Protein backbone atom coordinates (compact mmCIF):
# COMPACT_ATOMS: atom_id res chain seq x y z
CA UNK A 1 0.00 0.00 0.00
CA UNK A 2 2.74 2.46 1.00
CA UNK A 3 4.11 2.36 -2.53
CA UNK A 4 0.85 3.80 -3.79
CA UNK A 5 1.39 6.90 -1.68
CA UNK A 6 5.14 7.29 -2.17
CA UNK A 7 5.13 6.56 -5.92
CA UNK A 8 3.15 9.66 -6.98
CA UNK A 9 5.64 11.89 -5.13
CA UNK A 10 8.57 10.22 -6.90
CA UNK A 11 6.74 10.49 -10.24
CA UNK A 12 5.92 14.17 -9.79
CA UNK A 13 9.59 14.83 -8.90
CA UNK A 14 10.58 12.84 -11.99
CA UNK A 15 8.25 14.95 -14.15
CA UNK A 16 9.78 18.14 -12.81
CA UNK A 17 13.26 16.84 -13.62
CA UNK A 18 12.22 15.24 -17.01
CA UNK A 19 9.12 17.16 -18.18
CA UNK A 20 9.02 15.34 -21.56
CA UNK A 21 8.50 11.91 -20.00
CA UNK A 22 4.89 11.07 -21.02
CA UNK A 23 5.04 7.71 -19.24
CA UNK A 24 4.95 9.52 -15.94
CA UNK A 25 1.45 10.80 -16.69
CA UNK A 26 0.24 7.29 -17.46
CA UNK A 27 1.78 5.96 -14.29
CA UNK A 28 0.06 8.64 -12.24
CA UNK A 29 -3.25 7.60 -13.82
CA UNK A 30 -2.55 3.97 -13.04
CA UNK A 31 -1.58 4.66 -9.47
CA UNK A 32 -4.70 6.70 -8.88
CA UNK A 33 -6.88 3.98 -10.33
CA UNK A 34 -5.28 1.62 -7.85
CA UNK A 35 -5.63 4.07 -5.00
CA UNK A 36 -9.34 4.22 -5.71
CA UNK A 37 -9.47 0.43 -5.64
CA UNK A 38 -7.35 0.11 -2.53
CA UNK A 39 -9.56 2.53 -0.67
CA UNK A 40 -12.14 -0.25 -0.70
CA UNK A 41 -9.86 -2.18 1.64
CA UNK A 42 -8.38 -5.64 1.35
CA UNK A 43 -11.44 -7.17 -0.23
CA UNK A 44 -11.40 -10.41 -2.13
CA UNK A 45 -12.00 -10.28 -5.90
CA UNK A 46 -15.56 -11.50 -5.37
CA UNK A 47 -16.38 -8.56 -3.16
CA UNK A 48 -14.83 -6.06 -5.52
CA UNK A 49 -17.08 -7.12 -8.37
CA UNK A 50 -20.29 -6.97 -6.43
CA UNK A 51 -22.95 -5.05 -8.35
CA UNK A 52 -23.86 -1.50 -7.63
CA UNK A 53 -27.50 -1.35 -6.58
CA UNK A 54 -30.36 0.12 -8.62
CA UNK A 55 -28.70 0.15 -12.03
CA UNK A 56 -30.81 -0.41 -15.13
CA UNK A 57 -30.53 -3.75 -16.89
CA UNK A 58 -28.59 -2.43 -19.90
CA UNK A 59 -26.12 -0.69 -17.57
CA UNK A 60 -25.71 -3.83 -15.49
CA UNK A 61 -25.12 -5.88 -18.64
CA UNK A 62 -22.36 -3.52 -19.68
CA UNK A 63 -20.68 -2.95 -16.32
CA UNK A 64 -21.03 -6.07 -14.17
CA UNK A 65 -17.99 -8.26 -13.63
CA UNK A 66 -15.51 -5.71 -14.96
CA UNK A 67 -12.70 -4.39 -12.77
CA UNK A 68 -10.72 -2.27 -15.19
CA UNK A 69 -8.22 -1.31 -12.53
CA UNK A 70 -7.13 -4.93 -12.46
CA UNK A 71 -6.52 -4.88 -16.22
CA UNK A 72 -4.39 -1.72 -16.18
CA UNK A 73 -7.36 0.27 -17.40
CA UNK A 74 -8.20 -1.94 -20.38
CA UNK A 75 -11.97 -2.19 -20.75
CA UNK A 76 -12.12 -5.99 -20.97
CA UNK A 77 -10.44 -8.65 -18.84
CA UNK A 78 -7.53 -10.39 -20.52
CA UNK A 79 -7.82 -14.04 -21.55
CA UNK A 80 -5.82 -16.01 -18.99
CA UNK A 81 -4.54 -19.18 -20.61
CA UNK A 82 -3.38 -21.18 -17.66
CA UNK A 83 -3.26 -24.35 -15.66
CA UNK A 84 -0.57 -23.78 -13.03
CA UNK A 85 -0.93 -20.93 -10.58
CA UNK A 86 2.21 -20.12 -8.58
CA UNK A 87 1.93 -19.39 -4.86
CA UNK A 88 4.25 -16.92 -3.16
CA UNK A 89 5.20 -19.18 -0.22
CA UNK A 90 5.02 -22.78 0.95
CA UNK A 91 2.59 -21.65 3.65
CA UNK A 92 0.29 -20.11 1.06
CA UNK A 93 0.49 -23.28 -1.07
CA UNK A 94 -0.40 -25.51 1.86
CA UNK A 95 -3.32 -23.28 2.81
CA UNK A 96 -4.49 -22.83 -0.83
CA UNK A 97 -4.36 -19.17 0.07
CA UNK A 98 -4.49 -17.32 -3.25
CA UNK A 99 -7.22 -15.55 -5.21
CA UNK A 100 -6.85 -18.20 -7.94
CA UNK A 101 -5.60 -21.70 -7.27
CA UNK A 102 -5.80 -23.70 -10.50
CA UNK A 103 -6.81 -23.04 -14.10
CA UNK A 104 -9.81 -25.37 -14.07
CA UNK A 105 -11.31 -23.76 -11.00
CA UNK A 106 -11.39 -20.12 -11.97
CA UNK A 107 -9.43 -17.47 -13.82
CA UNK A 108 -9.96 -13.71 -13.79
CA UNK A 109 -11.60 -14.15 -17.22
CA UNK A 110 -14.11 -16.77 -16.10
CA UNK A 111 -14.75 -14.94 -12.85
CA UNK A 112 -15.64 -11.78 -14.74
CA UNK A 113 -18.33 -13.52 -16.80
CA UNK A 114 -19.59 -15.57 -13.85
CA UNK A 115 -20.04 -12.36 -11.92
CA UNK A 116 -21.84 -10.67 -14.81
CA UNK A 117 -24.32 -13.54 -15.21
CA UNK A 118 -24.89 -13.93 -11.46
CA UNK A 119 -25.43 -10.19 -11.13
CA UNK A 120 -27.94 -10.04 -13.97
CA UNK A 121 -29.84 -13.04 -12.69
CA UNK A 122 -29.56 -11.94 -9.03
CA UNK A 123 -27.98 -15.21 -7.97
CA UNK A 124 -25.58 -16.00 -5.12
CA UNK A 125 -23.06 -17.38 -7.60
CA UNK A 126 -22.41 -18.77 -11.06
CA UNK A 127 -20.14 -21.40 -12.55
CA UNK A 128 -19.36 -21.70 -16.23
CA UNK A 129 -19.18 -25.03 -18.00
CA UNK A 130 -18.04 -26.23 -21.41
CA UNK A 131 -21.56 -26.17 -22.93
CA UNK A 132 -25.23 -25.98 -22.00
CA UNK A 133 -25.53 -29.74 -21.75
CA UNK A 134 -22.73 -29.99 -19.19
CA UNK A 135 -24.41 -27.15 -17.26
CA UNK A 136 -27.57 -29.29 -17.08
CA UNK A 137 -25.48 -32.22 -15.88
CA UNK A 138 -23.67 -30.14 -13.25
CA UNK A 139 -26.98 -28.80 -11.92
CA UNK A 140 -28.57 -32.26 -11.69
CA UNK A 141 -25.52 -33.90 -10.12
CA UNK A 142 -25.36 -31.10 -7.56
CA UNK A 143 -28.70 -32.05 -6.00
CA UNK A 144 -29.34 -35.71 -6.80
CA UNK A 145 -27.98 -38.94 -5.38
CA UNK A 146 -28.75 -42.65 -5.59
CA UNK A 147 -32.28 -43.42 -4.48
CA UNK A 148 -33.62 -39.97 -5.33
CA UNK A 149 -36.62 -39.21 -7.50
CA UNK A 150 -36.56 -36.52 -10.21
CA UNK A 151 -39.63 -34.81 -11.70
CA UNK A 152 -38.88 -33.71 -15.24
CA UNK A 153 -41.09 -31.56 -17.45
CA UNK A 154 -42.36 -33.28 -20.59
CA UNK A 155 -41.36 -30.44 -22.96
CA UNK A 156 -37.73 -30.46 -21.86
CA UNK A 157 -34.76 -30.17 -24.27
CA UNK A 158 -34.37 -33.73 -25.53
CA UNK A 159 -30.78 -34.36 -24.38
CA UNK A 160 -31.96 -33.56 -20.83
CA UNK A 161 -34.37 -36.50 -21.17
CA UNK A 162 -31.45 -38.57 -22.37
CA UNK A 163 -29.36 -37.62 -19.31
CA UNK A 164 -32.25 -38.63 -17.02
CA UNK A 165 -33.27 -41.81 -18.84
CA UNK A 166 -29.86 -43.18 -19.75
CA UNK A 167 -27.36 -41.66 -17.36
CA UNK A 168 -28.98 -40.78 -14.02
CA UNK A 169 -30.91 -44.05 -14.17
CA UNK A 170 -27.62 -45.97 -14.10
CA UNK A 171 -26.86 -44.30 -10.77
CA UNK A 172 -30.23 -45.18 -9.25
CA UNK A 173 -32.12 -41.94 -9.84
CA UNK A 174 -35.70 -42.48 -10.98
CA UNK A 175 -37.45 -39.96 -13.24
CA UNK A 176 -41.14 -39.16 -13.70
CA UNK A 177 -42.24 -36.82 -16.49
CA UNK A 178 -44.98 -34.27 -15.92
CA UNK A 179 -47.36 -32.14 -17.97
CA UNK A 180 -45.98 -28.59 -18.48
CA UNK A 181 -49.46 -27.26 -17.56
CA UNK A 182 -49.51 -29.06 -14.21
CA UNK A 183 -49.01 -25.97 -11.99
CA UNK A 184 -49.64 -26.60 -8.28
CA UNK A 185 -50.91 -30.09 -9.20
CA UNK A 186 -47.27 -31.17 -9.17
CA UNK A 187 -47.74 -31.91 -5.48
CA UNK A 188 -49.65 -35.05 -6.46
CA UNK A 189 -46.53 -36.43 -8.15
CA UNK A 190 -44.24 -35.71 -5.23
CA UNK A 191 -42.81 -38.66 -3.39
CA UNK A 192 -40.93 -38.79 -0.14
CA UNK A 193 -37.70 -39.17 -2.08
CA UNK A 194 -38.45 -36.45 -4.68
CA UNK A 195 -35.33 -34.32 -4.52
CA UNK A 196 -35.58 -32.17 -7.63
CA UNK A 197 -38.14 -30.73 -10.02
CA UNK A 198 -36.73 -29.66 -13.38
CA UNK A 199 -38.62 -27.24 -15.61
CA UNK A 200 -37.92 -25.59 -18.92
CA UNK A 201 -40.13 -22.56 -19.40
CA UNK A 202 -41.15 -22.09 -22.08
CA UNK A 203 -40.23 -25.43 -23.64
CA UNK A 204 -37.77 -24.62 -26.40
CA UNK A 205 -39.78 -26.42 -29.10
CA UNK A 206 -43.42 -26.35 -28.03
CA UNK A 207 -43.41 -23.16 -25.92
CA UNK A 208 -45.86 -24.09 -23.17
CA UNK A 209 -45.68 -21.57 -20.34
CA UNK A 210 -45.61 -23.35 -17.00
CA UNK A 211 -46.70 -21.80 -13.73
CA UNK A 212 -43.17 -21.80 -12.34
CA UNK A 213 -43.95 -20.08 -9.00
CA UNK A 214 -46.71 -22.64 -8.25
CA UNK A 215 -44.43 -25.56 -9.15
CA UNK A 216 -41.52 -24.15 -7.12
CA UNK A 217 -43.75 -23.50 -4.09
CA UNK A 218 -45.04 -27.09 -4.11
CA UNK A 219 -41.49 -28.43 -4.46
CA UNK A 220 -40.24 -26.28 -1.60
CA UNK A 221 -43.00 -27.54 0.65
CA UNK A 222 -41.74 -31.04 0.02
CA UNK A 223 -38.11 -30.05 0.55
CA UNK A 224 -37.20 -30.54 -3.12
CA UNK A 225 -35.05 -28.19 -5.22
CA UNK A 226 -36.50 -26.57 -8.34
CA UNK A 227 -34.23 -26.23 -11.37
CA UNK A 228 -34.95 -24.32 -14.56
CA UNK A 229 -33.40 -24.33 -18.01
CA UNK A 230 -33.63 -20.54 -18.44
CA UNK A 231 -31.93 -20.37 -21.83
CA UNK A 232 -35.00 -18.91 -23.58
CA UNK A 233 -35.75 -16.41 -20.81
CA UNK A 234 -32.08 -15.38 -20.64
CA UNK A 235 -30.73 -13.65 -17.52
CA UNK A 236 -32.52 -10.52 -18.78
CA UNK A 237 -36.14 -11.54 -19.25
CA UNK A 238 -36.80 -14.05 -16.46
CA UNK A 239 -35.46 -13.74 -12.93
CA UNK A 240 -35.79 -17.31 -11.68
CA UNK A 241 -34.84 -16.73 -8.06
CA UNK A 242 -37.65 -14.24 -7.63
CA UNK A 243 -40.07 -17.02 -8.59
CA UNK A 244 -38.86 -19.66 -6.15
CA UNK A 245 -36.24 -21.39 -8.32
CA UNK A 246 -33.07 -22.72 -6.64
CA UNK A 247 -30.85 -23.42 -9.66
CA UNK A 248 -30.91 -21.83 -13.10
CA UNK A 249 -29.17 -23.21 -16.18
CA UNK A 250 -28.15 -21.44 -19.36
CA UNK A 251 -26.92 -22.74 -22.64
CA UNK A 252 -24.77 -19.59 -22.85
CA UNK A 253 -23.87 -20.89 -26.30
CA UNK A 254 -27.12 -19.19 -27.38
CA UNK A 255 -27.91 -15.52 -26.64
CA UNK A 256 -25.06 -14.85 -24.19
CA UNK A 257 -22.37 -15.75 -26.72
CA UNK A 258 -24.77 -14.47 -29.39
CA UNK A 259 -22.59 -15.06 -32.44
CA UNK A 260 -22.73 -18.85 -32.98
CA UNK A 261 -18.99 -19.11 -32.50
CA UNK A 262 -18.46 -20.71 -29.07
CA UNK A 263 -19.80 -23.37 -26.69
CA UNK A 264 -20.58 -22.34 -23.12
CA UNK A 265 -22.84 -23.24 -20.21
CA UNK A 266 -23.69 -21.47 -16.96
CA UNK A 267 -25.24 -22.59 -13.70
CA UNK A 268 -26.43 -20.00 -11.21
CA UNK A 269 -28.01 -20.71 -7.85
CA UNK A 270 -29.01 -19.33 -4.47
CA UNK A 271 -28.64 -20.43 -0.84
CA UNK A 272 -28.10 -24.07 -0.05
CA UNK A 273 -28.38 -24.94 -3.75
CA UNK A 274 -25.46 -22.62 -4.55
CA UNK A 275 -23.33 -24.37 -1.92
CA UNK A 276 -24.18 -27.68 -3.57
CA UNK A 277 -23.35 -26.39 -7.07
CA UNK A 278 -20.07 -24.84 -5.90
CA UNK A 279 -19.00 -28.10 -4.19
CA UNK A 280 -19.95 -30.27 -7.16
CA UNK A 281 -18.24 -27.92 -9.60
CA UNK A 282 -15.11 -28.05 -7.47
CA UNK A 283 -15.13 -31.85 -7.67
CA UNK A 284 -15.95 -32.22 -11.36
CA UNK A 285 -14.53 -29.02 -12.91
CA UNK A 286 -16.66 -29.18 -16.05
CA UNK A 287 -15.01 -25.90 -16.95
CA UNK A 288 -15.18 -24.07 -20.24
CA UNK A 289 -12.16 -23.27 -22.42
CA UNK A 290 -10.86 -19.77 -21.79
CA UNK A 291 -11.32 -18.53 -25.35
CA UNK A 292 -14.96 -19.58 -25.33
CA UNK A 293 -15.35 -17.87 -21.97
CA UNK A 294 -13.97 -14.74 -23.56
CA UNK A 295 -16.51 -14.97 -26.39
CA UNK A 296 -19.24 -15.23 -23.76
CA UNK A 297 -17.84 -12.27 -21.90
CA UNK A 298 -17.66 -10.27 -25.12
CA UNK A 299 -21.15 -11.36 -26.21
CA UNK A 300 -22.91 -10.50 -22.98
CA UNK A 301 -22.02 -6.82 -23.26
CA UNK A 302 -24.27 -6.42 -26.31
CA UNK A 303 -26.92 -8.95 -25.31
CA UNK A 304 -29.44 -6.38 -24.12
CA UNK A 305 -29.55 -4.54 -27.44
CA UNK A 306 -29.38 -7.69 -29.56
CA UNK A 307 -32.27 -9.22 -27.67
CA UNK A 308 -34.41 -6.08 -27.79
CA UNK A 309 -34.06 -6.06 -31.58
CA UNK A 310 -34.54 -9.82 -31.92
CA UNK A 311 -37.62 -9.75 -29.68
CA UNK A 312 -39.21 -6.99 -31.79
CA UNK A 313 -38.42 -8.70 -35.09
CA UNK A 314 -39.56 -12.07 -33.70
CA UNK A 315 -42.94 -10.74 -32.61
CA UNK A 316 -43.48 -8.95 -35.94
CA UNK A 317 -42.72 -12.10 -37.91
CA UNK A 318 -44.75 -14.31 -35.55
CA UNK A 319 -47.74 -12.00 -36.05
CA UNK A 320 -47.26 -12.08 -39.81
CA UNK A 321 -47.07 -15.88 -39.74
CA UNK A 322 -50.25 -16.15 -37.69
CA UNK A 323 -52.14 -14.56 -40.62
CA UNK A 324 -50.84 -17.07 -43.16
CA UNK A 325 -53.38 -19.65 -44.37
CA UNK A 326 -50.73 -22.41 -44.27
CA UNK A 327 -50.20 -21.86 -40.52
CA UNK A 328 -52.53 -23.58 -38.09
CA UNK A 329 -51.03 -21.90 -35.01
CA UNK A 330 -48.02 -19.84 -33.94
CA UNK A 331 -46.47 -20.80 -30.60
CA UNK A 332 -44.89 -17.61 -29.28
CA UNK A 333 -45.46 -16.73 -25.60
CA UNK A 334 -45.64 -12.98 -26.37
CA UNK A 335 -48.62 -13.48 -28.69
CA UNK A 336 -52.01 -13.30 -26.93
CA UNK A 337 -53.22 -16.18 -29.13
CA UNK A 338 -50.58 -18.54 -27.68
CA UNK A 339 -51.73 -20.64 -24.71
CA UNK A 340 -49.91 -19.48 -21.57
CA UNK A 341 -49.54 -15.89 -22.77
CA UNK A 342 -50.98 -14.62 -19.45
CA UNK A 343 -48.28 -16.45 -17.50
CA UNK A 344 -45.62 -14.97 -19.77
CA UNK A 345 -47.05 -11.50 -19.14
CA UNK A 346 -47.09 -12.09 -15.39
CA UNK A 347 -43.61 -13.58 -14.96
CA UNK A 348 -41.40 -12.41 -17.86
CA UNK A 349 -40.22 -8.96 -18.87
CA UNK A 350 -39.44 -9.84 -22.48
CA UNK A 351 -39.27 -12.60 -25.05
CA UNK A 352 -36.36 -13.97 -26.97
CA UNK A 353 -36.67 -14.71 -30.66
CA UNK A 354 -37.24 -18.47 -30.74
CA UNK A 355 -40.76 -19.73 -31.47
CA UNK A 356 -42.58 -22.38 -33.46
CA UNK A 357 -45.27 -22.65 -36.08
CA UNK A 358 -47.65 -25.53 -36.55
CA UNK A 359 -48.51 -26.06 -40.20
CA UNK A 360 -51.70 -27.63 -41.57
CA UNK A 361 -49.49 -29.51 -44.02
CA UNK A 362 -48.36 -33.01 -43.03
CA UNK A 363 -46.67 -33.96 -46.28
CA UNK A 364 -42.94 -34.14 -45.55
CA UNK A 365 -41.99 -33.45 -49.18
CA UNK A 366 -43.97 -30.20 -49.15
CA UNK A 367 -42.51 -29.12 -45.80
CA UNK A 368 -39.01 -29.94 -47.05
CA UNK A 369 -39.74 -27.78 -50.13
CA UNK A 370 -40.65 -24.91 -47.77
CA UNK A 371 -37.40 -25.27 -45.80
CA UNK A 372 -35.23 -25.80 -48.87
CA UNK A 373 -36.65 -22.66 -50.53
CA UNK A 374 -35.52 -20.43 -47.65
CA UNK A 375 -32.32 -18.52 -48.33
CA UNK A 376 -31.96 -16.38 -45.23
CA UNK A 377 -33.10 -18.99 -42.71
CA UNK A 378 -30.36 -21.54 -42.15
CA UNK A 379 -31.12 -25.09 -41.05
CA UNK A 380 -29.18 -25.62 -37.85
CA UNK A 381 -29.91 -26.76 -34.31
CA UNK A 382 -28.18 -24.21 -32.07
CA UNK A 383 -29.98 -20.87 -31.78
CA UNK A 384 -29.47 -17.48 -30.11
CA UNK A 385 -26.95 -16.18 -32.64
CA UNK A 386 -27.31 -13.21 -34.99
CA UNK A 387 -28.70 -15.32 -37.83
CA UNK A 388 -32.16 -16.67 -38.55
CA UNK A 389 -32.91 -20.39 -38.58
CA UNK A 390 -35.77 -22.77 -39.36
CA UNK A 391 -35.86 -26.50 -38.57
CA UNK A 392 -38.53 -29.23 -38.50
CA UNK A 393 -39.29 -31.11 -35.27
CA UNK A 394 -41.73 -33.78 -34.07
CA UNK A 395 -42.87 -33.59 -30.43
CA UNK A 396 -45.07 -36.67 -30.85
CA UNK A 397 -41.91 -38.74 -31.18
CA UNK A 398 -40.60 -38.15 -27.66
CA UNK A 399 -43.29 -36.97 -25.24
CA UNK A 400 -44.35 -39.48 -22.64
CA UNK A 401 -46.46 -37.72 -19.97
CA UNK A 402 -48.63 -35.84 -22.46
CA UNK A 403 -49.94 -36.54 -25.93
CA UNK A 404 -49.02 -34.17 -28.74
CA UNK A 405 -52.34 -33.65 -30.56
CA UNK A 406 -51.40 -31.65 -33.65
CA UNK A 407 -51.12 -33.90 -36.69
CA UNK A 408 -49.56 -31.35 -39.07
CA UNK A 409 -45.86 -30.48 -39.29
CA UNK A 410 -43.98 -28.34 -36.78
CA UNK A 411 -41.23 -25.83 -37.62
CA UNK A 412 -39.04 -24.07 -35.05
CA UNK A 413 -37.96 -20.59 -36.08
CA UNK A 414 -35.18 -18.41 -34.72
CA UNK A 415 -35.11 -14.76 -35.72
CA UNK A 416 -31.73 -13.10 -36.01
CA UNK A 417 -30.63 -9.55 -36.74
CA UNK A 418 -31.52 -9.36 -40.44
CA UNK A 419 -34.11 -6.90 -41.79
CA UNK A 420 -37.62 -8.10 -41.01
CA UNK A 421 -38.88 -7.33 -44.53
CA UNK A 422 -36.19 -9.54 -46.05
CA UNK A 423 -37.06 -12.38 -43.69
CA UNK A 424 -40.75 -12.08 -44.53
CA UNK A 425 -39.96 -12.10 -48.27
CA UNK A 426 -37.90 -15.23 -47.70
CA UNK A 427 -40.74 -16.95 -45.82
CA UNK A 428 -43.14 -15.97 -48.59
CA UNK A 429 -40.88 -17.77 -51.08
CA UNK A 430 -40.94 -20.76 -48.77
CA UNK A 431 -44.75 -20.85 -48.72
CA UNK A 432 -44.89 -20.62 -52.53
CA UNK A 433 -42.61 -23.68 -52.69
CA UNK A 434 -44.67 -25.49 -50.04
CA UNK A 435 -47.93 -24.88 -51.86
CA UNK A 436 -46.64 -25.94 -55.24
CA UNK A 437 -45.00 -29.10 -53.83
CA UNK A 438 -48.21 -29.96 -51.94
CA UNK A 439 -50.43 -29.56 -55.00
CA UNK A 440 -47.98 -31.49 -57.21
CA UNK A 441 -48.18 -34.36 -54.74
CA UNK A 442 -51.99 -34.58 -54.83
C1 LIG B 1 -33.03 -25.27 -24.18
C2 LIG B 1 -31.63 -25.75 -24.36
N3 LIG B 1 -30.91 -26.07 -23.27
C4 LIG B 1 -29.67 -26.54 -23.37
C5 LIG B 1 -29.06 -26.69 -24.59
C6 LIG B 1 -27.66 -27.25 -24.68
O7 LIG B 1 -26.75 -26.26 -25.00
P8 LIG B 1 -25.35 -26.61 -25.69
O9 LIG B 1 -25.64 -26.74 -27.14
O10 LIG B 1 -24.51 -25.44 -25.36
O11 LIG B 1 -24.86 -27.86 -25.07
C12 LIG B 1 -29.75 -26.37 -25.75
C13 LIG B 1 -29.11 -26.52 -27.08
O14 LIG B 1 -29.70 -26.47 -28.12
C15 LIG B 1 -31.08 -25.89 -25.63
O16 LIG B 1 -31.81 -25.60 -26.72
Q: Would you state the pLDDT for residue 384?
A: 98
- Least-confidence region, from 32-36, 204-208, 295-299, 428-432: 32-36
State how far the Cα of 426 lies from the Cα of 422, in Å rounded to an integer: 6
Q: Would you state the pLDDT for residue 442?
A: 73
> How many A from CA of 205 to the centre of ligand 1?
12
pLDDT per residue as tens digits for the range 114-129: 999 999 999 999 999 9
Q: Tell me the helix, strand and coil percentages in the chain, rounded to 5.
A: 45, 15, 40
Q: How many CB atoms lie within 10 A of CB 378?
A: 15
CA-closest residue to ligand 1 atom 10? 132
**Reduced 3-state DSSP string for 78-126:** CCCCCCCCCCCCHHHHHHCCCCCCCCCCCCHHHHHHHHHHHHHHCCCEE
Q: Which residues line ligand 1 (CB under 6 A)?
A: 131-133, 157, 200, 204, 229, 231, 251, 253, 263, 265, 381-382
Q: Would you state the pLDDT for residue 53?
A: 66
> How many A from CA of 268 to the centre of ligand 1?
16
> How many A from CA of 69 to the centre of ligand 1?
35
> How many A from CA of 248 to the centre of ligand 1?
13
Q: What would the mean pLDDT of 259-271 be, rounded to a whole number? A: 98
Q: Would you state the pLDDT for residue 54?
A: 77
- 43 three-state secondary structure: coil
CA-closest residue to ligand 1 atom 14? 382
Asked whether 388 and 409 are in contact (CB, 8 A), the reply is no
Q: How many CB atoms lie within 10 A of CB 340?
A: 18
Confidence of residue 52 (pLDDT cuts 50, 70, 90): low
Domain ranges of the chain: 1-42, 90-301, 304-440
State how far the Cα of 42 lies from the Cα of 40, in Å rounded to an integer: 7
Residue to mutate, 140, 152, 155, 159, ligand 1, most ligand atoms under 8 Å from C-beta? 159
CATH code reported for the domain at 90-301: 3.40.640.10
For 252-280, b/e burial (b = at least 16 CB within 10 A) is: bbbbbbbebebbbbbbbbbeebbebbbeb
CA nearest neighbour of 171 among 192, 194, 141, 196 = 141
Q: What are phi and psi of 88, to 5 degrees?
A: -75, -30
User: In ligand 1, which atom is closest to the CA atom of 264?
Assistant: 10
CATH topology of domain 304-440: 3.90.1150
User: In ligand 1, which atom is closest to the CA atom of 134?
Assistant: 11
Q: What Rg, from alpha-carbon coordinates, does the chain have? A: 25
Q: What would the mean pLDDT of 234-238 be, rounded to a whole number? A: 98
Q: What would the mean pLDDT of 326-333 be, rounded to a whole number? A: 98
State how far the Cα of 176 lies from the Cα of 162, in Å rounded to an integer: 13
Q: How many CB atoms lie within 10 A of CB 140?
A: 26
CA-closest residue to ligand 1 atom 9? 132
CA nearest neighbour of 219 among 199, 249, 239 = 199
> How many A from CA of 135 to the centre of ligand 1?
9
> How many A from CA of 132 to the centre of ligand 1?
5
Asked whether 438 and 190 are in contact (CB, 8 A), the reply is no
Query: Has residue 419 got a pLDDT over 60?
Result: yes
State how far the Cα of 147 lies from the Cα of 172, in Å rounded to an integer: 5
**C-alpha count within 13 angstroms, C-beta hemisphere, residue 208:** 19
Cβ neighbours for 208, distance < 8 A, ≥ 6 positions apart: 155, 180, 181, 201, 202, 339, 340
pLDDT per residue as tens digits for the range 355-364: 999 999 999 9
State how far the Cα of 201 lies from the Cα of 189, in Å rounded to an integer: 19
Instruction: Tell me which H or E stretch contains 329.
Output: strand 327-331
CA nearest neighbour of 391 among 416, 408, 374, 403 = 374
State how far the Cα of 236 lies from the Cα of 239, in Å rounded to an integer: 7
Query: Has residue 36 got a pLDDT over 60?
Result: no
Q: Would you state the pLDDT for residue 50?
A: 55
Which pTM value belongs to this model? 0.89
State how far the Cα of 222 lies from the Cα of 189, in Å rounded to an integer: 11
Confidence of residue 147 (pLDDT cuts 50, 70, 90): very high
Average pLDDT, the chain: 90
Amino acid sequence: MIVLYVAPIIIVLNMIIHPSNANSVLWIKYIYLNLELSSEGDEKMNDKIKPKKNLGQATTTVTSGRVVQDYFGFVNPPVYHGSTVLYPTAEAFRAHDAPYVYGSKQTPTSQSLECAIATLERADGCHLTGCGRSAILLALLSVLETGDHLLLIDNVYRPTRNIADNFLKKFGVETTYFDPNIGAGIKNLMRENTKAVFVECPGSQTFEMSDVPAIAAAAKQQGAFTLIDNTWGTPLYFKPFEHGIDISIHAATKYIVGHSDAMLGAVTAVGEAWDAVAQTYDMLRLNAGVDDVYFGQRGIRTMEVRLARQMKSGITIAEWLSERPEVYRVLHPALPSTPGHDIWKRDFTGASSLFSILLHERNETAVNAFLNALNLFGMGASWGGYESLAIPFDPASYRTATKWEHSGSCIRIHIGLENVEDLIDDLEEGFIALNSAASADK
